[in-house]
Amino acid sequence: MQDVDPIFDEVTDRAGRRVVLLERIWRGKVVVEHPEMRSFAPAVLGAIAEADHSEADPRYPDRIHYFARDVGPSNWLMVVVSYEQVPARIITAFARRKDPPSWKPLI
């Protein structure tokens, strides 16, 4: 019998795909590596559902970087989602000061 990986929370992206945030990723990676994110789980999910910007991962073709502006502990909140499996999984989330690489603000 295979162990079940508990789900911390989940969201649906704009394309209607289910995206899960696993307990081990949230508590064992995101909060450990970025403790300032501890209270921002709802913002992480919101960044996927209502992204201000998204772009393909430059190294992994089945991953997308989602960005939410002015939420979380810095200028941007970045969430990386892997669509390499079903359901898709959040693999990390963290705050960013810099604009996303392909971001072009409206003038």
pLDDT tens digit sequence for 27-52: 999 999 999 999 999 999 999 999 99
Q: Is residue 48 part of a domain?
A: yes
Q: Is residue 52 part of a domain?
A: yes
Q: Is residue 41 part of a domain?
A: yes
Domain count, the chain: 1
pLDDT tens digit sequence for 1-36: 455 889 999 999 999 999 999 999 999 999 999 999
Q: Is the pTM of this model over 0.95?
A: no
Q: Is residue 104 part of a domain?
A: no
What range does the domain containing 38 cover? 7-96
Pairing relation of β-strands 18-22 and 88-96?
A: parallel
Q: Is residue 83 part of a domain?
A: yes
Q: Is residue 106 part of a domain?
A: no
Q: Is residue 87 part of a domain?
A: yes
- Say what percent of the chain tops pLDDT 90: 80
pLDDT given for residue 106 in this prediction = 56
Rounded Cα distance, 47 and 79, in Å:
7
pLDDT over 70 at 80, yes or no: yes
Radius of gyration of the chain (CA): 14
